[in-house]
Structure 1
Amino acid sequence: MNPEFYNRIISIKAHRQSRDDNKDFVIAHPSILKELIQLALNTKDKNHHKAWWVLELIAEEQIELLLPDIDLMCNNIQKICSDQAVRPASRVCMFLAQSKKITLSPIQEEKLIERCLDWLIQPERVAAKAYSMRALYSLGKKHPWIHEELRMILSQDYKGNSPAYIAAAKDILRRLK
């Protein structure tokens, strides 16, 4: 990895301006996007979550830039498990699932479905669960069995969760009717 780019990524702060500046830098220099993705997927690097922070903003703004590396991301998304990386990774999954610009292959969809279901049923933070349920809802439009599974999971987990989880679950359950 380019040492200057790596130092730039590891110096990112959580505040939005820092993440936006780096998103803009990567969009202006798309040749380094693959390096960013490789860093994001390198769970042995303690700063890999910072790469996810940038990737989620790129996915939100110009998801088509991820197209050449979607296989790499989908094949390795199951490795992402640190609290700091799961939220932005689940948001990237949501953007991929909802994208009108990218058509996922059946294998890519299967990997996203599997990972989002895992995040939804495992003890993750609410934001990751909310993004996962939204991704699953979108993917369920093509795979109806997902909606049944989602309805069952959300109905069972509805009580005893945080108000934020209940609000997200209520929204998805309303859409499922």
Structure 2
Amino acid sequence: MTTEALYKELSYVTHSRENRLKYAQMLLENPLIIPKALDILFMVNDKTSCRAAWVLEFMCHDKLTALVPYLDYFTAHIKTVHLDPAVRPVAKICEYLAKAFYAKNNALIKAQLTTEHQERLIEVCFDYLISDQKIAPKAYAMNALYLFGQDYPWIHPELKSILERDYQMQSSGFKARAKHILKKIKQEKS
């Protein structure tokens, strides 16, 4: 399938869970089109990039390791994604990667997610947290940053500072997640 054909196919992606799962399965069954989906994701001013993001998020939920061959490309370009409907799934993929890296049973992600990849993920997560994003990307970013803070000691103090600073001005969803993360940071210090 060409990038153009995939682009056209993605125009049929809807918000329904079943539909996104169908297209995610299409990627998993045809891994050679995953880089084409990433190319479309990084057409950042095009609304179809959002549909590619939705499908890639569902693919990563089912099989995160399918993204491994493309970690360089993905992490190098995620900072360019800016449309709200694409930012949320990209932030979720960042959280998936952080969770997998710190999971006990995911050796492939541990082996393949390099320091450079981690630093790019950390950078974009901080960007999501301090920029004008909706609650979902901020929540995913908080969690990913908390996890990466296990290996990067400077992250937890920075994360704590941002969460405390923004706490009063944010939504109840932000406050709930921030409270949870702040409690975990405090418990680690004890």
TM more than 0.5: yes
Which structure 1 segments of 5+ residues have no match?
none
Per-residue deviation, 1:6:
2.0
Deviates further, 117-126 or 24-33 = 24-33
Query: Percent of aligned positions with the same letter in both sequences?
Result: 34
Q: TM-score, normalised by structure 1?
A: 0.95
Return the alpha-carbon distance in structure 2 between the equivalents of residues 121 and 4 of structure 1: 37
| Match in the other structure for 2:145 | 136
Structure 2 residue aligned with 1:165? 174
Question: Which consecutive unaligned segments of at least 5 residues does structure 2 have?
Answer: 101-105
Which AA in structure 1 matches 2:15? A
1:7 Cα deviation from its structure 2 partner: 1.7
Superposition CA RMSD, Å: 1.2
2:16 corresponding residue in structure 1: 15
TM value normalised by structure 2: 0.89
Q: Which residue of 2 aligns with 1:30?
A: 31
2:7/2:48 contact within 8 Å kept = no
Residues of 1 paired with 2:120 and 2:129: CA distance? 14
Structure-2 separation of matches of 1:97 and 1:66: 13
Q: Which residue does the alignment assign to 2:77? A: 76
Residue 59 of structure 1 aligns with which residue? 60
Q: Quote how far apart the aligned CAs of 1:44 are.
A: 3.4
- Residues 36-69 of structure 1 show CA distances to partners (whole Å, capped at 9, x for unaligned) of 1111112133210110001111111211110110
d(CA) in 1 for partners of 2:60, 2:165: 31
Query: What amino acid is aligned across from residue 130 of structure 2 in structure 1?
Result: I
The one-letter amino acid of 2:38's match is I
- Higher mean displacement: 130-139 or 7-16: 7-16
Listed one character per residue, the Cα deviations across residues 56-115 of structure 1 (whole Å, up to 9, x for unaligned) are: 111112111101100001111110111111100100111111113413111111111111
Partners of 2:179 and 2:62 lie apart in 1 by 27
One-letter amino acid of the structure 1 residue matched with residue 142 of structure 2: M
How far apart, CA to CA, are the structure 1 residues paired with 2:135 and 2:165?
Answer: 16
Matched to 1:115, the amino acid is V
Q: Could you say what secondary structure the match of 1:18 adopts?
A: helix
Indicate the residue corresponding to 1:102 in structure 2.
Answer: 109
Distance across 2 between alignment mates of 1:134 and 1:21 = 28
- Structure 1 residue 130: Cα displacement: 0.2
Aligned length: 177
